[in-house]
Structure 1
Amino acid sequence: MIKTRGVSHIAIRISDVARASEFYGKLLGLEVVPFPTMDRDKAAKFRDEVVSSKKVAAPTGGIWFAAGSTQLHLIASPGHTERTGSPFGPHLALVVEDFEQTRRALKEAGIEFLEAPAQQGRGRQMWISDPDGNTVELTTEQ
């Protein structure tokens, strides 16, 4: 049996690095994590092999953020068109410190959100869409 120790990172597709950086860095307050140093020739060869074998578009860039001990890798992909916004589909969840302050910040930024009914002792939850339509849950632990 494989023994998993935790989550290293979550990767999602985006279409615009600058726009995603504003959303995740400025609005949600995540800190940028520098890309690791890598051999450019080996990385390009691997990218080309993946693009060819998986029949996917080559990434055009990206940005990484720290979300506690987990990283969020945003990968720029041409033609990205996902638009769900549903809490019942694929999404990432970020723990926020102050739910009421988060709600106020979203309202001030003009960002619509879907809020779950308060559940005693189980934390609070709300869902927003990032600029590319990826669903982001904002939650508290209590």
Structure 2
Amino acid sequence: MIKNRGMRHLALKVSDVERAKDFYVRVFGMKLVWQPDADNAYLSSGCDNVALHRGDHGGDAQRLDHLGFIVPTIADVEAGYAWAKSIGVEIVHELKHHRDGSVSFYIRDPDGNVIQALYEPTISPQSFSS
């Protein structure tokens, strides 16, 4: 087993770094941490890191099903869903209350990556400090 504290970093291939950066900043409130050049950008939510690298999805065997952002409360998921719909973000799966107490919906970023906004009863209440 590899010791870990959970998923804290994800790297995505995107066709347009600026467009992807603007999406993650606008939709999820992420902050730019470092942009060494026009082909790479590193964003953070304060506890997670997303790297955006210019590249195509063409011949790669590596595929990502989806990435997820943990949301603090059910009300926050519901409000986020309403907001995403109101600004025209593509909804992949509608808001759903699951039997285990979780609540989620899925959207798509400008490069087609699927993102889940998720309230999960055991993870969402946790807080992290540095």
Confirm or deny a common fold (TM above 0.5).
yes
> Given the alignment, which residue of 90, 94, 105 partners 1:112?
90
Following superposition of structure 1 onto structure 2, how do residues 122-137 of structure 1 map, counting pairs within 5 Å? 122-137=101-116
Query: 1:91 — aligned with what?
Result: 66
The number of equivalent residue pairs is 112
Of all paired residues, the percent bearing the same amino acid is: 28
Alpha-carbon distance between aligned partners in 2 of 1:117 and 1:9, rounded to the nearest angstrom: 26
Structure 1 contact 93–139 (Cα < 8 Å) conserved: yes
Q: CA deviation at 1:4?
A: 2.2
2:16 partner amino acid: D
Q: Describe the SS at the equivalent of 2:88.
A: coil
Alpha-carbon distance between aligned partners in 2 of 1:28 and 1:94, rounded to the nearest angstrom: 8
Gaps of 5+ in 2: 122-130
Following superposition of structure 1 onto structure 2, how do residues 37-116 of structure 1 map, counting pairs within 5 Å? 61-77=39-55, 79-80=56-57, 90-97=65-72, 98-113=76-91, 114-115=93-94
Q: CA deviation at 1:64?
A: 1.0
Q: Which structure's CA Rg is the greater one?
A: 1
1:19 paired to 2:22: no
Tell which has more relative contact order, 1 or 2 (C-alpha 8 A, sep 6+): 1
Q: CA deviation at 1:61?
A: 0.8
Query: 1:10 — aligned with what?
Result: 10
Gaps of 5+ in 1: 37-58, 83-88
Measured on the aligned residues, the alpha-carbon RMSD in Å equals: 2.6
Alpha-carbon distance between aligned partners in 1 of 2:18 and 2:79, rounded to the nearest angstrom: 25
Q: Describe the SS at the equivalent of 2:10.
A: strand
Structure 1 contact 81–132 (Cα < 8 Å) conserved: no
Structure 2 contact 106–115 (Cα < 8 Å) conserved: yes
Structure showing the higher helix proportion among its residues: 1
Structure showing the higher strand proportion among its residues: 2
Q: CA deviation at 1:115?
A: 2.4
Q: State the TM-score, normalized to the length of structure 2.
A: 0.72
Going from structure 1 to structure 2, the CA distance change for 1:81 and 1:99 (only over 3 Å counts) comes to farther
Alpha-carbon distance between aligned partners in 2 of 1:109 and 1:81, rounded to the nearest angstrom: 30
